[in-house]
Amino acid sequence: MRFLKALVIGMGVLIVVATTVLIVLIVHRLAGPPVMAPATAGPVLLDEPAGTRIVTIAPAGDRLAVQLQGGGPDRVLLVDPKSGAVTGRIALRAQ
């Protein structure tokens, strides 16, 4: 009977300690510093011929896919939003 009483008291203490730790962790995570968006490079200048227009911009992993039309064959540029550099080019061959 003594063993059962000690076991019940021990489990009660364990529940109180675990609940306290959980509450402290939740409060700590909620009160942490806010996540800031990375700084951007500012305006991006695309060196494209006159008459080129942007059709759409879509995320592509950690890059932006910029679809261009006009000023030559249709093409897609991959732009790094952090540096503003063009990291890739996909174009259709003109016939």
pLDDT of residue 31: 84
User: pLDDT, tens digit, for every residue of 13-36?
Assistant: 999 999 999 999 999 888 877 666
Domain extents for the chain? Answer: 1-36, 39-95
Cβ atoms of 23 and 40 closer than 8 Å = no
pLDDT of residue 78: 94
pLDDT in tens, the chain (95 residues): 899 999 999 999 999 999 999 999 999 888 877 666 555 556 778 888 999 999 999 998 889 999 999 888 899 999 998 888 899 998 877 65
Other CB atoms within 10 Å distance of the CB of residue 79? 20
pTM confidence score: 0.54
Strand order in the sheet with 75-79: 53-60, 63-69, 75-79, 86-91
